Amino acid sequence: MDLSSHGNTQPFRQKLTAECPAMIGTVPVYDSVIHYQRDLATLTAKDFIDVVRLHAQDGVDFVTLHCGITRKTIEQIRKHKRKMNIVSRGGSLVFAWMSMTGEENPFYEYYDEILEICREYDVTISLGDACRPGCLADASDVCQIEELVRLGELTKRAWEKDVQVMVEGPGHMPMDQIEANMKMQQTICMGAPFYVLGPIVTDIAPGYDHITSAIGGAIAAASGAAFLCYVTPAEHLALPNVDDVKQGIIAAKISSSNVFGFVVSNLDSVTIRAINAFAIGTKNINPYSTVYVAVVDSANDAAKEKYMAEILYQRNPDIEVMNVMTSTDSVNKFCEINMRKCF
């Protein structure tokens, strides 16, 4: 996605759509203040809609629009006193604009006009979740669920106009709520693709949220999420650099296979108990997981251990556990090259 929020954004956006083979998405509300070089409160509903049209004309594949937050949502947020209020950047901009002007969300009020633009230019709408939870305490609260119900209604209206839709999801969420949220979205939004921002399963791991989001992403993927939005180690701390992006993508990619590998030296009673405990633990967290076991059948055979690790790696495991007698440079190098976490 092009999330530019500074500078001359249109030439950059046009270059992206012209040269990048991947799908390109944007968030027009980010660009509105930059495009007009005016204070947020001075923009009109027409200004916002015209930026959506501009992005569509520039050839983007999808636009993220926070259509589900309304004047009613403002009252809900004030009434229910969330811990983190609105953490969505696009959602907070729309919320601020409505609060300053007293007007309805333009992306909601003029949704039919937006649908006409998207149909004309074959642009998919990504329905942003302005009220996604920013901490575990806000997960699955009335603000989040009310917005989701509205997004379900907007999904149906888009389909009636032959416009494709995907729906954005949480956010910070306890592990035991993720599956229910996936199933609820599939019902309310009638099977529209659901993509999740993590979910991040704890609030206390800044610097490691690529890991916490991979945990949530594995559960979400097993429960029906259509795709995962990667989270970098810089989340909550800073803008990501190239290495942060790399680590975030790695973590997201390895959270979605539901496959786990276990390499052991021999099958004795202690090892069997360890395998069973590992399998039971993974099933408790992810009922759709499969554990594959490779038996080296010898002790202190580094070459064979490496070979068996390579065999299991071909199954694309999320995690590969090694309960072996040696820990050689060759085995460690294999783990490093293939970017898997090996224990």
Q: What is the pLDDT of residues 115-160, one digit of tens each?
A: 999 999 999 999 999 999 999 999 999 999 999 999 999 999 999 9
Instruction: Give me the pLDDT at residue 337, please.
Output: 41
Instruction: Give me the pLDDT at residue 274, please.
Output: 82
Give the H/E segment covering residue 32. Answer: helix 28-36
What is the rounded CA–CA span in Å between residue 85 and residue 141? Answer: 11
Instruction: Give me the pLDDT at residue 340, please.
Output: 41
Report whether 100 contacts 161 (CB < 8 A).
no
Instruction: Give me the pLDDT at residue 343, please.
Output: 39
Mean pLDDT of the chain: 87
- Give the Å distances, CA to CA, from 198 to 11, 185, 254, 258, 288: 31, 16, 13, 16, 18
What is the rounded CA–CA span in Å between residue 258 and residue 128? Answer: 27
pLDDT digits over 71-87, tens only?
988 888 888 888 999 99
- Give the Å distances, CA to CA, from 300 to 258, 266, 330: 30, 11, 13
What is the rounded CA–CA span in Å between residue 3 and residue 63? Answer: 11
Closest by CA to 337, choosing from 257, 250, 252, is 250
Closest by CA to 250, choosing from 343, 134, 308, 336, is 336
Environment class of 43 (CB within 10 Å of its CB; exposed 0-12, middle 13-18, buried 19+)? buried
3-state secondary structure of 20: coil
Instruction: Give me the pLDDT at residue 222, please.
Output: 82
What is the rounded CA–CA span in Å between residue 192 and residue 167? Answer: 7
Instruction: Give me the pLDDT at residue 285, please.
Output: 63
Instruction: Give me the pLDDT at residue 338, please.
Output: 44
What is the rounded CA–CA span in Å between residue 115 and residue 2? Answer: 21
Which residues are bridge partners to 172 per DSSP?
Answer: 200
Give the H/E segment covering residue 201. Answer: none
Burial of 111-124, coded b for 16+ CB within 10 Å and e otherwise, reads bebbbebbeebebb
Instruction: Give me the pLDDT at residue 330, please.
Output: 46
Residue 104 is given by DSSP the state P
Residue 2 is given by DSSP the state B
- Give the Å distances, CA to CA, from 17 to 10, 96, 116: 11, 30, 21
The one-digit pLDDT tens for each residue of the chain (343 residues) are 888 888 889 999 999 999 988 899 999 999 998 899 999 999 999 999 999 999 999 999 999 999 999 998 888 888 888 899 999 999 999 999 999 999 999 999 999 999 999 999 999 999 999 999 999 999 999 999 999 999 999 999 999 999 999 999 999 999 999 999 999 999 999 999 999 998 999 999 999 999 999 989 988 988 888 888 999 999 999 999 999 998 998 888 776 667 778 888 888 888 888 888 888 877 776 676 788 888 888 777 778 888 888 887 777 676 667 776 555 554 444 444 443 443 3
Record the tokens describing residue 298, joined without a space: 């010898």
Residue 7 makes CB contacts below 8 A (sequence gap 6+) with 34
Instruction: Give me the pLDDT at residue 325, please.
Output: 55
Instruction: Give me the pLDDT at residue 286, please.
Output: 66
Instruction: Give me the pLDDT at residue 331, please.
Output: 47
Residue 202 burial (CB count, 10 A): 17
